[in-house]
Amino acid sequence: MKVGFYGHVRQYHNLKEEIDAAIFEVLESGNYIMGPTLARFEKELAAYCHMKHAIGCNSGTDALWLAFMALGIGPGDEVITVANTFFATAEAVWIAGARPVFVDIEPHTCNMDPTLIEPAITDRTRAIVPVHLYGQMANMPAIADIAQRHNLLVVEDCAQAIGAAGDTFAIGELSDAACLSFIAHKNLGTPGDGGAVVTNRDDIVDRILALRNHGSLKRSYHSMGYNSRLDDLHAGLLSVKLKRIDQWNDRRRQIAAMYSEGLQDTGLQLPYEKPGYRHVYHLYVIEIEQRDEMLKYLNQAGIDAKTHYPIAIHQQEGYPWGQPADLNVSLPLTERSAARVISLPMFPELTPEEIDYVIHTVRTWEG
């Protein structure tokens, strides 16, 4: 049996009529860039997130960068974040001209450890950028509290976490801006790239709108910006999918529960769901000492398991400024996790047979 890692083609087949209709509607309308379809999706997205504003852009990476720029985060500033994330989290900080300062993680959620933030604050610190890794929110109340006491900005990397929440808060509500990604394999994905910033801060909306469109809010008038728009074609397709996101996230949670039930006595480290948090399982990640052997075994059994992320950002060789002091940062829990993680197939369209096969295969491993 073969079990793939991504379900987006199955998802397309399941929604083919509606998706095709949405695409043809945009094609026939002639409005391809910043048209009414984008405006409608932005409204729907803001409503879904219970936020005042949603601004579409070209990718999750751009969403982060646009938020940083709009908030005035730039050269000379330090941004406290984590290193066990997709490279783009730190990359966006560098693109804005600031410097990421990495702190270590909690051992079970693998999210930013809030107790390590204050020791990392210097007089250059401007912002904290938590990542809601694998679809579970970081401890936002603690992070927001520290930010408030030290007068710091908070930008949430929600690329993996649309629909995630805590018992008294959700993405975007305890920060200055929250950034989403719609790249194909994310929980809400389009065939291509896309992203959005959601925020309750009225004062940064025009800046983000201008920055994503060559510094222009009015035709022919420009200041310095960039070209980072969400195409109407993608927006139309995302509108079709946004209606299903809660149902899909529920299915991801169900599959995760089946995996966790099936693997509970194996000695593997399974995902930890924090009480009171709604984990939306962008990824189902287990940890094991013999990671490389297990990965090979699963792949040979036809299961497309992957690793997120085997090389933490501070371990990357292409470290942009190359100063030894920055390379020397030690993040023991981040490094331990990077050496042990395996992501099992996780998407709403997985069949019961595929789920059983994954559980059975992992269980019969003789390491």
Piece of 152-160, 206-214, 320-328, 359-367 that binds ligand PLP (CB under 6 A): 152-160
Whether the upstream peptide bond of residue 277 has omega within 30° of 0, thus cis, is no
Q: How many Å is the maximal CA-CA distance in the chain?
A: 66
89 binds ligand PLP (CB under 6 A): yes
Footprint of ligand PLP on 187-226 (CB under 6 A): 193, 195
The residue within the footprint of ligand PLP, chosen from 175, 181, 190, 361 (CB under 6 A), is 181
Distance CA 232, CA 30 (A): 10
334 binds ligand PLP (CB under 6 A): no
The residue within the footprint of ligand PLP, chosen from 101, 131, 238, 280 (CB under 6 A), is 131
Q: What is the DSSP string of 128-146?
A: E--B-GGG----HHHHHHH
Looking at beta carbons, which residue is closest to ligand PLP?
60
Distance CA 218, CA 214 (A): 11
Distance CA 160, CA 183 (A): 10
Piece of 58-66, 112-120, 134-142, 236-244 that binds ligand PLP (CB under 6 A): 58-66
The residue within the footprint of ligand PLP, chosen from 68, 86, 309, 357 (CB under 6 A), is 86
7 binds ligand PLP (CB under 6 A): no
CA distances to 108, 180, 186, 324 from 160, rounded to whole Å, are 17, 8, 6, 31
Q: State the minimum distance, in angstroms, from the CB of residue 364 to ligand PLP.
A: 31
The first and second tokens of residue 247, run together, are 């149902």
The residue within the footprint of ligand PLP, chosen from 51, 73, 88, 196 (CB under 6 A), is 88
The residue within the footprint of ligand PLP, chosen from 7, 56, 60, 114 (CB under 6 A), is 60
Query: Rounded to the nearest 10 degrees, how much is the dihedral formed by the CA atoms of 161, 164, 170, 176?
Result: 0
- The answer for 265, left when phi > 0, alpha when psi is -120 to 50, beta otherwise, is alpha
Footprint of ligand PLP on this chain (CB under 6 A)? 59-61, 85-86, 88-89, 131, 157, 159-160, 181, 183, 193, 195
